Structure 1
Amino acid sequence: MTKDKRVTSYDVAREAGVSQSAVSRVFRPGLSVSKKTREKVMTTANKMGYRPNAIARMLITKQSGMVAVIVSSRANVNYPEVLSQVSKQLAARNKRVLLFTLDNAEGGDELFEQIWTFQVDGVIALAAHFDHNSLDKFKEHKIPVVLYNRNVPDALANTVCCNHELGIKQLVNELKLNQPKNYLVISGPEDSDVATERREIALKQLEKHGEQQVSVLYGDYSYQSGRDCLAQWLKSNPAPDAIICSNDIMAVGVIDEAREHHNIDVPNDMSVVGFDGVSSSSWFNYQITTIKQPLEQLTKAAVDMLLEHIENPDSPPETRVITGTLIEGNSVKRP
């Protein structure tokens, strides 16, 4: 064999004295092979410098081994950790991540064309708005999709979600301990599935408690939008007794704006709650009452669900809801 010739699985099989199919089984995770054969093949492969050909494997298995992960630039600060967890868990299943960004519906068609070109095995949408039409396109191309921490109302879609309803109910109950007279809800963007769900649940819970004085402002999940929303409100209104923020980062912005520019004490003058449980929410100056999302459980469920639907494409869509943890911080006044 010349030095320039690529070593093949047949060369390894010949040298190790085993069949070519035995070599293939050794390099395909999950397939049965004896310990003795595995050691013999790996020793020979390392000596000969053999590495399996991913393209050839794709032709055999009819799978690319790639999963598209779609995120948005508006993703909250948890998402780098979420992406890391997803990548790690997919790598353990011999899958690789192709990362795409989608910030608005207008860019959807171009992004979808890229995804079709790469022939990915499946898609996990971490922080992108998907509607019925988007989901239908993936069905047409027979590509399974899992929506992470979001729902598309009335759509038959695979979803993995934190229990927003229970979480926000717990936050409202925390606020009710001090019997606030008026509330301000600072929502995420109107076109965000998660923001819409959290906002509607909060309004429903407050209505259920008979609260009449409830107002809504819209931020974009950012720290500055939390500050801007409170500043806008205080131009023509007194400080609310309680503020429900769609995420922790806006809650941090609200607290800084209240203390720095308006001499409002949190929590004695105004209570503030967030959602997500990001690391900054527990910093000494904030210690926000929030719901900590179970990231490891959510990402594992998303990966498990996607791989199940890759292997069994006719499986019916499912939803898995995982409960977060209430963090009782110091941003809520207690009686």
Structure 2
Amino acid sequence: MKKSKVTSIDVARHAGVSQSAVSRAFSRTPTQSGVSPETKKRILKSADELGYRPNAIARSLITQRSNIVALLFSYLDNQFYALALEKLCIELQKTGFHALVFMMPSTDEGVEETVSQLLEYQVDGIITASVELSSTLVKFCSQREIPVVMFNRFQEHEGIASVTTDNVSGGRIAARHLIETGHRRIALLSGWERSSTSRDRKFGFEAELRENGHRLYVHEVGHFDLKRTGEAIRKMFGDPNDAHPDALFALNDYMAIEAISILRSELKFSIPDDLSVIGFDDIPLAAMPEFSLTTLRQPINNMVTNAVRQINELVRKNIVEVENISLAPKLIERRTVKQRR
């Protein structure tokens, strides 16, 4: 015979309290009308003795909140996003949310269909990383009062919060460092050209070169993709008769490390003697001795904290106006840039 399920009413009777006190004792979100420590201890003791576990689905029907935040990622082979996913999940759990991860297309194709599917899960909010949203989707989420926070992306849509690194400033810092170390034939390896990160880093880099009397020696698109990065590097450096660049700025470490690997093993370049390389992100692999990559560090912990704080405040309706936060990058000097003066 199937054992009957223990309910919050059973716990309330056993502990000698009201059913609402049981609900408040198990609430993940503190309220002004919480229960005293002594009462909560008695309730939890009764629940343990009876084998009671709160029903999250039933609670969501009452509160009209699922306590689920959708995390949208387009790829995790880049260490930066794998690390960001881990940190976002941990930080969300601290604030009483559960993360529901959706893998998205690497471009903006098919995003609308996937987002429409995830909304069937009644998510309380959305954090997008490496994903751009169309105006239609932004309007769709706004009409349903589903807050959206963009992580490492920025779009000029009203009502959309964002947390990014100051990518324009990061591009300028990279260019300035190469100029100050005596480089003249400076190349750029950009990412997916419709992403805000690639666009802004490229803009800052070119602006700083131009203002210092320089121009790009050569530019190729790696699309934040290993295969496309390899093709771009072979195109830039594969002809031994060409005067090759003396410096390369790759718009993320993922592409920079792939570029270094091909340049060393296949094209027989010495880094940094033949070519200096700068990346962007400062992923753990960049600090490994075999790469020791000079790069621009994104303050990932600060980015995660601010993204989760915003989604929490927007879901709880503690704030009305969204924030677009831009944090300063930091140049991390290692051993892939040579002083050429």
TM above 0.5: yes
Matched, 1:34 2:36: yes
**Structure 1 equivalent of residue 115 of structure 2:** 112
Please tell me whether the aligned partners of residues 132 and 152 of structure 1 are also in contact (alpha carbons under 8 angstroms): no
Work out the CA distance in 1 between the residues paired with 2:37 and 2:267. Answer: 70
Q: Which amino acid aligns with 1:298?
A: M
**Structure 2 equivalent of residue 277 of structure 1:** 282
Please tell me whether the aligned partners of residues 13 and 19 of structure 1 are also in contact (alpha carbons under 8 angstroms): yes
- Counterpart mapping for 1:170-319 below 5 A: 170-236=173-239, 237-312=242-317, 315-319=320-324
Give, in angstroms, the shift of residue 122 of structure 1. Answer: 0.3
Please tell me whether the aligned partners of residues 274 and 291 of structure 1 are also in contact (alpha carbons under 8 angstroms): yes
- In structure 2, the CA distance between the partners of 1:213 and 1:266, relative to structure 1 (3 Å rule), is same
Unaligned runs of 5+ in 1: none
Give, in angstroms, the shift of residue 187 of structure 1. Answer: 0.3
- Measured against aligned partners, the alpha-carbon deviations of 1:97-153 in whole angstroms (never above 9, x if no partner) come to 111122133312321221221111000001112232221121122110000011114
Q: Which amino acid aligns with 1:13?
A: A
Work out the CA distance in 2 between the residues paired with 1:101 and 1:258. Answer: 32
Q: Which amino acid aligns with 2:142?
A: K
Count of matched residue positions in the alignment of Structure 1 and Structure 2: 334
Give, in angstroms, the shift of residue 78 of structure 1. Answer: 1.5
Give, in angstroms, the shift of residue 316 of structure 1. Answer: 1.4
Please tell me whether the aligned partners of residues 176 and 208 of structure 2 are also in contact (alpha carbons under 8 angstroms): no
Work out the CA distance in 1 between the residues paired with 2:216 and 2:114. Answer: 43
- Give the TM-score of the pair, scaled to structure 2: 0.92
Give, in angstroms, the shift of residue 216 of structure 1. Answer: 1.5
What is the Cα-based RMSD across aligned positions, in Å?
A: 2.0
Give, in angstroms, the shift of residue 225 of structure 1. Answer: 3.5
**Structure 1 equivalent of residue 331 of structure 2:** 326
SS in 2 for 1:301: helix
- Measured against aligned partners, the alpha-carbon deviations of 1:204-254 in whole angstroms (never above 9, x if no partner) come to 221122213432210122344433212111245321021110111211122
Work out the CA distance in 2 between the residues paired with 1:177 and 1:126. Answer: 33
Please tell me whether the aligned partners of residues 224 and 253 of structure 1 are also in contact (alpha carbons under 8 angstroms): no
Give, in angstroms, the shift of residue 191 of structure 1. Answer: 2.8
Give, in angstroms, the shift of residue 75 of structure 1. Answer: 6.2
Please tell me whether the aligned partners of residues 226 and 249 of structure 1 are also in contact (alpha carbons under 8 angstroms): no
Please tell me whether the aligned partners of residues 186 and 218 of structure 1 are also in contact (alpha carbons under 8 angstroms): yes
Q: Which amino acid aligns with 1:196?
A: R
- In structure 2, the CA distance between the partners of 1:154 and 1:146, relative to structure 1 (3 Å rule), is closer
- In structure 2, the CA distance between the partners of 1:223 and 1:77, relative to structure 1 (3 Å rule), is same
SS in 1 for 2:110: helix
- Give the TM-score of the pair, scaled to structure 1: 0.93
SS in 2 for 1:130: coil
Work out the CA distance in 2 between the residues paired with 1:333 and 1:317. Answer: 43
- Counterpart mapping for 1:122-133 below 5 A: 122-133=125-136
- Counterpart mapping for 1:13-162 below 5 A: 13-29=12-28, 30-31=30-31, 32-73=34-75, 76-103=78-105, 104-153=107-156, 155-162=158-165
Please tell me whether the aligned partners of residues 144 and 313 of structure 1 are also in contact (alpha carbons under 8 angstroms): no
